[in-house]
Amino acid sequence: MRKIKNPKITVKPREVFYQLKRGQKLGSLDEDMIEEILNNSKPLALVDPACVYENISCSEFLVPGLDFALNASALSAKSRPGTISCAAASLGDHGFEAALNSLGGGSMETSRHVVMAWGEVFLNKLCCFADNLIEKEAAEESLELGLSQALDIGRDKALIEFLWQRLKPEEKIGVQLKTDPLDGSLKFWPVLSKIWLVPWLTKKEKQGVRSQISSFLQKTNGNGVRSQISSFLQKT
């Protein structure tokens, strides 16, 4: 298991601009306005970013419940990968959520959107940072990374419970599972946290997955999935 604490990550106003645009929350904001909001709110001082990951033999998933969940995650091609990296990342919280709550409503809502978008970009970069480290480890065995799969608490409960015991994210990086008082559902806290899986594949297996994805995109016009897999296709 490997833990990474406070990696050097920067988020530029332009990246926040496009994140807001994708989320249809840009409004009349431009990059200069976004930069001013970030300079005033100083979100980097409010987070404690960290990630943890472990490379696990696929055989450990081959038990009732987990095997079904792994198939449902669509990670494995016809030949199941021998190793799957399991990772958790979080921005941590040194006042980030309180700052978001203080910005909610009225004229401050725009600032809240900007700070939240900054956090979303930061989390994505943190996950990519971990994936790059994992990719180097896979390369040492002449393997490549397949398509990563973010886990959803509602959909992937069995997998998350298994990984919670392996990764110990609450102990290692402060991620908790909390019950939402409004609807009783389980949620990650801090809110900007993520658990995901990524398989190690041979080049041949990866090309096979690429062909399957390309065929799927042609059939569906990429609805709802194109943004998730575009970077994967570009690397293959």
**One CATH from 3.40.109.40, 3.20.20.140, 3.40.50.720, 1.10.3720.10 for 2-201:** 3.40.109.40
pLDDT band at 217 (very low <50, low <70, confident <90, very high): low
Beta bridge partners of 143: none
Tell me the whole-structure pTM to 2 decimals: 0.84
| pLDDT at residue number 106 | 72
pLDDT in tens, 116-156: 999 999 999 999 999 999 999 999 999 999 888 899 888 88
Domain boundaries, the chain: 2-201, 203-236
Q: φ and ψ at 78, to 5 degrees?
A: -60, -40
221: tokens are 């016009």
- Is it the case that residue 211 has pLDDT exceeding 80? no
Q: Which residues contact 111 (CB under 8 A, 6 or more apart)?
A: 37, 40, 41, 103
Beta bridge partners of 55: 85
